[in-house]
Homo-oligomer: A and B are copies of this chain.
């Protein structure tokens, strides 16, 4: 609880009840939920919650860099709380997303004059578990 409020304040986002709950959820969840999933999971505890709030909030968080959005093209955009630089592996079978560590990328030469707000590395394929099952 305290941590989420702190993070929001630090990012210049007013820590409303909904925002705190959404951020906490993302801080605890390790499974990269969609906006839809987040909405349903939180709806039980915040019955008045609206989808618009979830989307607005996720956009604000993403813009401020608190969370990262992973556009997978299947089942909608997925979100995770940003800790360090890591890439995402999407399993095309079970739809889970795995984090994996990666070096910070470096593009000074190629993209001179470009302002880079976010960078995303997404691999797609079959995860270890699903590969074994075949």
- The interface of chain A, by Cβ under 8 A from chain B, is 69, 71-73, 77, 87, 89, 92, 98, 100-102, 105, 107, 110-128, 131-132
Instruction: Given A71-B73, A72-B71, A101-B110, answer yes or no on A125-B120 (Cβ-Cβ < 8 Å).
Output: no
- A129's closest neighbor in chain B, by CB? B113
Q: Which residues of B contact A122 (CB under 8 A)?
A: 71, 119-120, 122
Q: A118 contacts which chain B residues (CB < 8 A)?
A: 123-125
Residues of B near A132 (CB, < 8 A) are 113
A101–B105 alpha-carbon span in the complex (Å): 12
Asked if B107 and A114 make an inter-chain contact with CB atoms under 8 angstroms apart, the answer reads: no
A71, A100, A114, A124 pick with most chain B CB within 10 angstroms: A114
